[in-house]
Amino acid sequence: MSQASDTHSKTVGYVLWVFGFTGAHRFYYGKPVTGTIWFFTFGLLGIGWLIDLFLIPSMDRQADLRFRSGKVNYSLAWILLAFLGVFGVHRMYMGKWLTGILYLCTLGLLGVGYLYDYWTLNDQITVVNASD
């Protein structure tokens, strides 16, 4: 039986949880549907946000089992997306220079691309890591 690699960090999960009413930590752990719900309901009016404080360890284990490790570090890519995403820095880090520069010139395609990456970044990284 293969052992899960440590693709995601509990520390980054907890840092993003501070902004959890936006769903950032749920997107990070590969839960875009509930991340979107948290975004539009402010973490289920704060109740879901507080409960997630205790659920982060299990979300971390699930993400470690689901996603593939490789040359692109999930935590670093997510930090870059969360804080510099509209400038495309996370895309440049993954080696997607053309779209990274496009994001830089258009502020993340006027925010639409930035939101798209919240939904798909884990899968994008898995694809890049699979091509190693």
The answer on 89 and 53 residing in a single domain is no
| Structural domain ending residue among the three candidates 66, 91, 117 | 66
- CA-to-CA separations, 97 to 9, 68, 81, 104, in angstroms, rounded: 26, 22, 15, 10
pLDDT in tens, 25-79: 999 999 999 999 999 999 999 999 999 999 999 999 999 999 999 999 999 999 9
Closest CA to 28 of 48, 49, 7: 7
Name the band, by pLDDT with cuts 50, 70 and 90, for residue 118: very high
Question: What is the Cα–Cα distance from 50 to 88, expressed in whole angstroms?
Answer: 31
The answer on 61 and 1 residing in a single domain is yes
Q: Where are the alpha helices (DSSP H) in the chain?
A: 10-18, 24-28, 32-45, 47-66, 74-84, 89-93, 97-110, 112-130
Question: What is the Cα–Cα distance from 116 to 114, expressed in whole angstroms?
Answer: 5
Q: Mean pLDDT, the chain, as a whole number?
A: 94
The answer on 92 and 31 residing in a single domain is no
Question: What is the Cα–Cα distance from 70 to 68, expressed in whole angstroms?
Answer: 7
Question: What is the Cα–Cα distance from 53 to 103, expressed in whole angstroms?
Answer: 32
The answer on 94 and 54 residing in a single domain is no
Question: What is the Cα–Cα distance from 117 to 82, expressed in whole angstroms?
Answer: 10
The residue range of the domain holding 84 is 68-132
The count of structural domains within the chain is 2
The answer on 23 and 56 residing in a single domain is yes
Closest CA to 55 of 5, 13, 8, 4: 13
The answer on 34 and 1 residing in a single domain is yes
Give, as one character, the DSSP assignment of residue 88: T
